[in-house]
Chains A and B, each alone.
Chain A
Amino acid sequence: MICIEVKELTKQFGPKKVVDGLSFSLPMHTSTALIGPNGAGKTTALSMLAHLMEPTSGQIIMPNVKDMRSAIGFLPQYPQFYSWLTALEYMEMVASLSNLDKRALKSECKKMLAFVGLEDAMNKKTVTFSGGMKQRLGIAQALVHKPKLLLLDEPVSALDPVGRREVMNLLKEVQEQTTILYSTHILNDAEEMTDQLLFLRDGQLVEQGSLQRVKEKFQEPRYKITFSHENEAQQFTEQTALQTQWAKNIVYIEILEDRPTMQQLLYQLAISPYEVLKVERQTASLEEIFMKVAGENATI
Chain B
Amino acid sequence: MQQFKALFLKEWRESVRSFKLLWIPLVFILLGISDPIMNYFMEDILKAVGNMPEGFMMTLPEFQPADLLMASTGQFQSIGLLVLIAAYIGVFSRERQNGTATLIYVRPVSFTAMYASKWMVASIIAMISAIAGYAGSMYYTALLYGTVDWMKFFAMLGTYCLWLLFVMAVTVAMSAAFNTSIAAAVTIVIISLGLFIDSLFGGFWSVTPWKLANYGIALLTDSVLLKTYWLTVLMVVGLTILSIVLGIVMSRKNMRQLKI
Contact = CB atoms under 8 A, between A and B. Distances in A.
Interface string A128-161: 0000000000100100010000000100000000
Given A54-B256, A80-B100, A80-B103, A97 B14 contact: no
Contacts of B100: 80-82
A77 B260 CA distance: 8
Interface stretch (A21-29, A68-76, A238-246): A68-76
B108 A52 contact: no
Given A80-B103, A84-B13, A96 B260 contact: no
A79 B259 CA distance: 10
Contacts of B108: 67, 69-70, 97-99
B103 A85 contact: no
Contacts of A81: 100, 103
A92 B164 CA distance: 31
Nearest to B113: A97
B9 A80 contact: no
A69 B10 contact: no
Contacts of B191: none
A76 B105 CA distance: 12
Interface in B36-86: none
A165 interface: no
B6 A96 contact: yes
A97 B109 contact: yes
A292 interface: no
Nearest to B3: A97
B102 interface: yes
Contacts of A78: 99
A51 interface: yes
Contact of A74 (B5, B106, B109): B106
A98 B107 CA distance: 6
Given A76-B102, A96-B2, A98-B107, A85 B260 contact: no
A32 interface: no
Contacts of A97: 3, 6-7, 104, 107-109
Given A52-B260, A85-B10, A96 B5 contact: yes
B2 A99 contact: yes
Interface of B: 2-3, 5-7, 9-10, 13-14, 17-18, 98-100, 102-109, 255-256, 258, 260
Given A70-B108, A79-B99, A82-B14, 4 more contacts: A50-B106, A74-B106, A82-B100, A97-B7
Interface of A: 43, 47, 50-54, 67, 69-70, 72, 74, 76-82, 84-85, 89, 92-94, 96-99, 102, 138, 141, 145, 153
6 contacts: A52-B255, A52-B260, A93-B9, A96-B2, A96-B6, A99-B3
